[in-house]
Structure 1
Amino acid sequence: MARKKFIAVAGNIGAGKTELTSFLCRKYDLTPYFEPNDQNPYLAPFYKDMKTWAFRSQIFFLTHKFRLHRELERHSGTVLQDRTIYEDAEIFAKNLHRQRFIDRRDWQTYRELYETIAQALSPPDLMIYLRCPVQTLRERIRLRGRSMEKDIPVAYLKRLNALYEEWFSNYKMSPVLVLSTDKLDYLTNLVDRVDLFRQIEKYL
């Protein structure tokens, strides 16, 4: 590769981000940066009581994603990130605010912090958006069996999908590659795999 690149993988819960990140990192010998879900002490209580824990959980993610982003900027080679700091603010935190789980005062504080952080960061060279219908998301969430995710409401997933579409309709920071992951089988289908590599390599 001519120079180091920053590739980001975006998408809803269960869209296939971690699987694609791992697959591309093996194929192209890239360094992966994964979402710090397992480190978030607020995540399990958040799924049980969103109003109490929403703001605190989002501040945790914002802090840790900022640290991760700065770390990947310093990395000498091409990196691939599973869910970006931008999604935390534009999708997840915004959804919680719209649902009144984050009140107006806390939302203003959060947005000021996020916008200050975002101005200091280098955007991705390529954003890969994994588009996936809610029915497929639910099935994948069920199959992977994470206890904290099993009771996620369908309406919550629908709202997140709508926010992803809204965000990407105005996204201008980098080129975007949209993959419909309910129809894409790059693990076992050779045609899908070759097509995926061809699209990715245009940006590498």
Structure 2
Amino acid sequence: MADALHITEIDRSQNSPRRAAQSNDPRRYIAVAGSIGAGKSSIVEFLSQHFDVQPFFEPNEDNPYLEDFYEDMERWSFHSQLYFLGAKFKLHKELDASPQNVIQDRTIWEDAEIFAQNLYQQGQMSARDWQTYRNLYESVQGEIRAPDVMIYLRCPVKTVRQRIAMRGREMEQNIPTEYLNRLHKLYENWIDAYDLSPLVILPTDKLDYVTNLVDYHEIVTVIEKYL
């Protein structure tokens, strides 16, 4: 464990029945997880440039349902989540085929365990749609590779709200704080039980790896071990 940034390293995967079978493939797969505004894209860009790994970004801009979803979550939740599930599965096939080490911005597990789960719990996805979604997700999950390390970006909701306001994406500006609070709780519960791979937790509200050499060194040293 690194003290300067309070970086947390956990590995519950050694004795987990859910851990994917180990491969002799020398390529490494780094996954980056975190809520809206936690800093995923920035850390992916930073690590991909520093370690020369191929980045794969979340296909947000390509989702034809996303703007409608933010306007009417109950009506468009199933459509939007199904799109993300299919797009993430395609992305996994692409990163599996890459000859390089790869790093991914938001994972298929978050789509199901955080975002779709939240919509169902809040009554914004029907039980019928939820069951259909889960059946497909569980089938897909058996076909994809677990990461060699999962990086979780822990960020308080207050900081997330500030970042959403600063980056100015119009469709995000009306996201209720209550919705962000629910996502945060689901993320924390998911991470508390995560056992597919080693886990690195970064407190991104306290990081300044761009101008602070101590922060920079700590992050690089921790992630380098998994490559």
Category of TM-score, reference length = shorter chain: over 0.9
* CA apart distance, 1:3: 2.2
1:117 aligns with 2:123: no
One-letter amino acid matched to 1:172: D
One-letter amino acid matched to 1:73: D
Q: Residues 47-102 of structure 1, C-alpha deviation per residue, up to 9 Å, x if partnerless?
A: 01000000000000000000001110111110000000110000000000001111
Corresponding residue SS for 1:27: helix
Of residues 137, 150, 154, the one that matches 1:127 is 150
Q: In structure 2, what is the equivalent of residue 167 of structure 1?
A: 190
Q: Which runs of 5+ in 1 are unaligned?
A: none
Q: How does 1:89-104 map to 2 (within 5 A)?
A: 89-104=112-127
CA distance in 2, matches of 1:158, 1:187: 28
Q: In structure 2, what is the equivalent of residue 78 of structure 1?
A: 101
Q: How does 1:1-204 map to 2 (within 5 A)?
A: 3-204=26-227
Q: Residues 21-56 of structure 1, C-alpha deviation per residue, up to 9 Å, x if partnerless?
A: 001111111100000000001000100100000000
CA distance in 2, matches of 1:71, 1:170: 28
CA distance in 2, matches of 1:109, 1:26: 39
CA distance in 2, matches of 1:108, 1:68: 23
* CA apart distance, 1:113: 0.2
CA distance in 2, matches of 1:134, 1:50: 20
CA distance in 1, matches of 2:26, 2:46: 21
Q: RMSD across aligned C-alpha pairs, in angstroms?
A: 0.8
Q: Give 4+ residue runs of structure 1 displaced > 3 Å after superposition.
A: none
One-letter amino acid matched to 1:155: E
Corresponding residue SS for 1:26: helix
Question: RCO greater where, 1 or 2, for CA within 8 Å and sep 6 or more?
Answer: 2
CA distance in 2, matches of 1:109, 1:52: 16
Q: Which runs of 5+ in 2 are unaligned?
A: 1-24
* CA apart distance, 1:156: 0.6
Corresponding residue SS for 1:173: coil
Corresponding residue SS for 1:19: helix
Number of aligned residue pairs: give it. 203
More helix by share: 1
* CA apart distance, 1:202: 1.3
One-letter amino acid matched to 2:224: E
CA distance in 1, matches of 2:43, 2:194: 21
